Structure 1
Amino acid sequence: MAADTPPLDPAELGAYFALIEVSSLLRHAVEQQLKETGDLSYVQFQLLATLGDSPNGSARMTALADGVVLSRSGLTHQAGLLERRGLVTRAPSPDDERGVTLTITDAGRAVLSAVFPGHIGELRRLFLAPLDADDVRSLTAPLEKVREHMRRIPPRSAAPRRRRTAE
């Protein structure tokens, strides 16, 4: 730790560790449910859900990578897996021929419909069950504040690509 960086106080450290543990436990349970119900990884579910929420069922791959906080190559790999299953299609972006657009298919929507009830059930069982409505509202505001703060820092996927130089 840098000499001028003060340590975290017990409340800050407690909040950090609680957040990390809750996030890990919830993600593990959700990933198991998604795998069992729809043979999806968490990232694949995020991609399908994002596309499913889009007005036209499509989004540019760069925007998707930023939204799910995934590298461009990682997104390309996940999109390929989903495309092979017939859950999405890839096509050149109509707005920019250098870009690629991912679109959810009817089969992708069917998988989402199959996994959503269990997904919501896991969220209610593990995350929401111990909270009342006031707790949820109280928790939402600071988490949104932190999310917006972190989103203002460009994600790695939005960073300019480094060009390889010949050696």
Structure 2
Amino acid sequence: MAESLNPVQMHTYFALTEAVSLLQYAVRQQLQAEGGLSYVQFEILAKLATADGRALTMTDLADGVVYSRSGLTHQAGLLERDGLITRRASPDDQRATVVDITEAGRERVAAVLPGHIDVVRELLFEPLSERDVRTLGTLMTRARDHMRSRPPRSAAPRRSRRAG
């Protein structure tokens, strides 16, 4: 039987998950209200907008976005329908799909970014000192890197739709 979490670990775990849930809720509300975007759509656009002009593959996006492959494909389809991204077959790998952000996609990110920054600053950073922010960043980076040390989800075998 697994050893249980001690009271400090349990308190920390619940404080972290509640804080993340509250922040994500506020961010989702802002992105929807100001840009008609889901969080995943914003994340896709932001990753593409900051890719220094290089296209990313759907696998690159799947490894960077914590979302299912099928859900990511659906969200990318919605963004493409709205003219915010383009998708095409990779010239280097027939199995890969390359994704680029359009000018309209860049404009949408630019439109929602100020409000996004305001929400994050107010809810996450306002009650913390600069030292707290650095410490939190160090701790969360260590935790994230540990979690990401496992193979990316894109490397996991796909489940057969017939199985189950």
TM-score bracket, shorter-length normalisation: over 0.9
Unaligned runs of 5+ in 1: none
Tell me if the contact between 2:62 and 2:153 (Cα under 8 Å) persists in the aligned partners: no
Counterpart for residue 44 of structure 1: 41
Instruction: Please say if 1:157 is aligned against 2:157.
Output: no
Instruction: Please say if 1:54 is aligned against 2:70.
Output: no
Return the TM-score normalized by structure 1: 0.93
Counterpart for residue 81 of structure 1: 78
Alignment deviations for residues 103-160 of structure 1 (CA, whole Å, 9 cap, x no partner):
1000000000000000000001100000010000111111000000001112433312
Q: What's the secondary structure of 2:87's corresponding residue?
A: strand
Q: What's the secondary structure of 1:130's corresponding residue?
A: coil
Return the TM-score normalized by structure 2: 0.94
Q: What is the distance in 1 between the residues matched to 2:91 and 2:22?
A: 40
Residue identity (%): 55
Query: Which of these residues, 127, 133, 136, is aligned with residue 133 of structure 2?
Result: 136
1:63-82 matches, within 5 Å, as 63-82=60-79
Cα distance, 1:72 vs structure 2? 1.6
Residue-pair matches, total: 163
Unaligned runs of 5+ in 2: none
Q: What's the secondary structure of 2:100's corresponding residue?
A: strand
Q: What is the distance in 2 between the residues matched to 1:69 and 1:143?
A: 16
What is the one-letter code of the residue matched to 1:91? R
Alignment deviations for residues 56-109 of structure 1 (CA, whole Å, 9 cap, x no partner):
252100110121122221111000000010000000112211100111000000
Query: Which of these residues, 107, 114, 118, is aligned with residue 117 of structure 1?
Result: 114
Q: What is the distance in 2 between the residues matched to 1:7 and 1:165?
A: 37
Alignment deviations for residues 26-55 of structure 1 (CA, whole Å, 9 cap, x no partner):
000000000011000000000000000102
Tell me if the contact between 1:70 and 1:157 (Cα under 8 Å) persists in the aligned partners: no
Q: What's the secondary structure of 1:77's corresponding residue?
A: helix
What is the one-letter code of the residue matched to 2:108? V
Change (3 A) 1:165 1:135: closer
Q: CA RMSD in A?
A: 1.5
